[in-house]
Structure 1
Amino acid sequence: MTAANDTPRPDIFDRRLRARQRDRMVPRFADHDFLYRMMLDELIDRLGDVQRDLPEALVIGCPDGSARTSLRAMGKRVACIDPGFLTAKGAGGVQADEDALPFADNSFDLILACGTLDSVNDLPGALILMRRILRPDGLMLAAFSGAGSLPRLKSALLGAEGDRPGQHVHPQIDVRAAGDLLSRTGFAMPVADGETLSIRYGDIARLMHDLRFMGAGNALANRPPPLTRAVLADAAEHFAKAADPDGRTAEQMAIVYLSGWKPDPSQTAPARRGSATVSLAEALKGKDQAGQ
């Protein structure tokens, strides 16, 4: 008999649906890639502050080949994984979930995870695996949408559905919790920070269209039934009421950025927990100086 505490926890996200959503976005992703592009550009900029080779890299989340191209331009050898089969294939990678990475320990010097960690079933497990497959003194950089995203959409749907709203947007993690997870999963010199992107929409349909073709639809295992036309129409009215005088409604996406190193004896001892007072750029710069 299996003990109660050994029973596998049910998935929060439907893995097959998540993969299908990733694949469905492929033909039209280039027209809806602004959020991914912003996150990737920021990660590449931050990596540029690290004056070390980190030659073997893994990209997690590859809706196109841009991350691989950017890293190869920096002289790195790059492998790619994605939860979707077609997305992975298109980038010359393999299909895999972040909490079931198919790589041996100590395989990579760098992991760059862009745009998928907000919908992984076991985020602590995924971070532990990422740390394990890094070589000692290897770097993990990640970006994903976090808590505080899509407030206008959530408010419009809540107003349209009344007393029995469904969960149409999955739970999201905030910066503080994400930083705590980095520490708990064994990363050295963990840093978490964030920024908020404002996008202005003429109507709710365009927003939902963007979410669909950037692979950000609802993939919850226990998701509610599809929205009826009446609810969608009511939600559109609520969304329009929040518009600025020019008729466009400002929606927000809160982006979480993470950075952590696999522990190595050469690293500077960490400060006591909760005492961080430096920016990510300063932390990376300090890491470079310590490694010289």
Structure 2
Amino acid sequence: MSLSPSSGPDAVPPTTAPPRIFDAGRREARLARSERRLTQADFLHVRAAENAVGSLEAILRDFPVAVDLSAHPGPFARALASSEAADRVGRIVAPTSRAERAAPGRDALPLEDGTTDLIVSLLNLHWANDLPGALAQIRRALKPDGLFLGALFGAGALKELRAVLTEAELAERGGAQARVSPFADGYDGAALLQRAGFALPVSDVDRFVVRYPDMFALVRDLRAMGETNVLHGPIRPLNRAIISRAAHLYAERYGDADGRISATFEIIHLAGWKPHESQQKPLPRGSAKVRLADALGVKELTGEEGDPA
């Protein structure tokens, strides 16, 4: 497999530039700092990797060439190594450029069209300015009937932190900046895959709560993962009064009886296939041979039965 920019007949010509939501330079700097500390807080990446490997275990086919586009490639390789699916996945290529991982979809993937059997992207795509475009690049790089497995944070992630930071800054300054990134809605996952040209799209939402001693421990974990604010534009630093008020609000509203706080995380898991003629396809509308009511053994109501009273 050659690592060269995507091109060819399946390439989509550039259109209007997407809105710039995230700053790629800031994201790259966050990733660089987090690489030294990820092991202190890699539980979300491990969870996403184990889910992806679990999906592979249920698919009885080989993937000779795999590419890992994850924010931090290590967790997927480690989870796969101890899995029964390891023998079905060949060499794993991970592009070495941190810039490629910092801004998904901004530049052409370093992959030739139709050269890859499996592409994995874990906890990275929520930083894409053009998420459908980034997914379309992945689809083009796959071979026909190639598989994509992805995971990104969903809209429910860090809802408590978002709320207290906004309220605290409004109280102290009379206005508030966005401090937690906007995330995709979990119910949009399959539609995003379809829009990017994937077949047989599947989306699943994993929502769970993690307990911390306080808000500061939560923020330390986010920094260790490289998941702190990289929104585009000037960022006005939070002062001590805002941070103190936010921590107090967090403990007051989301604290438990033992003094610990709760933080909600939401991970959207995606799976989709590069279209191929061998894949199952829905029957044409109106081609059914049996009425649904007959198959279920019930009486079909047409709405013209009148008032039963």
Query: Is TM more than 0.5 here?
Result: yes
Give the superposition deviation at 1:63: 2.1
CA RMSD of aligned residues (A): 2.1
Give the superposition deviation at 1:202: 1.5
Pairing 1:110-149 to 2, within 5 Å after superposition: 110-149=118-157
Cα gap change, 1:270 to 1:55, in 2 (>3 Å): farther
**Which 10-residue stretch deviates more, 150-159 or 232-241?**
150-159
Residues 1:48 and 2:57 are matched in the alignment: yes
Q: Contact between 2:24 and 2:102, CA under 8 Å: does it hold in 1? A: no
2 CA distance for matches of 1:62 and 1:106?
A: 23
Greater CA radius of gyration, 1 or 2? Answer: 2
Cα gap change, 1:96 to 1:31, in 2 (>3 Å): closer
Q: Contact between 1:82 and 1:96, CA under 8 Å: does it hold in 2? A: no
Give the superposition deviation at 1:62: 4.8
Structure 1 match to 2:206: 195
Structure 1 match to 2:221: 210
Residues 1:11 and 2:20 are matched in the alignment: yes
Identity of aligned residues (%): 37
Matched to 2:104, the amino acid is: E
Structure 1 match to 2:182: 171
Cα gap change, 1:149 to 1:82, in 2 (>3 Å): farther
Give the superposition deviation at 1:95: 5.9
Unaligned runs of 5+ in 1: 86-93, 274-292
Matched to 2:53, the amino acid is: I
1 CA distance for matches of 2:230 and 2:283?
A: 39
Could you tell me the TM-score, scaled by structure 2's length? Answer: 0.79
1 CA distance for matches of 2:97 and 2:124?
A: 8
**1:238-261: CA deviation from partner (whole Å, max 9, x where unpaired):** 011021111111110011010100
Q: How many residues align?
A: 261
**1:34-77: CA deviation from partner (whole Å, max 9, x where unpaired):** 11111111111111111000111010115253323444643421
Higher helix share: 1
Give the superposition deviation at 1:178: 2.1
Q: Contact between 1:13 and 1:119, CA under 8 Å: does it hold in 2? A: yes
Structure 1 match to 2:77: 68
Q: 1:36 aligns with which of 39, 45, 66?
A: 45
Could you tell me the TM-score, scaled by structure 1's length? Answer: 0.83
Matched to 1:206, the amino acid is: A
Matched to 1:171, the amino acid is: P
Matched to 2:136, the amino acid is: I
Cα gap change, 1:238 to 1:65, in 2 (>3 Å): same
2 CA distance for matches of 1:83 and 1:235?
A: 36
Cα gap change, 1:255 to 1:82, in 2 (>3 Å): farther
Q: Contact between 1:154 and 1:169, CA under 8 Å: does it hold in 2? A: yes
2 CA distance for matches of 1:185 and 1:197?
A: 28
**Which 10-residue stretch deviates more, 158-167 or 178-187?**
158-167
Residues 1:81 and 2:92 are matched in the alignment: no
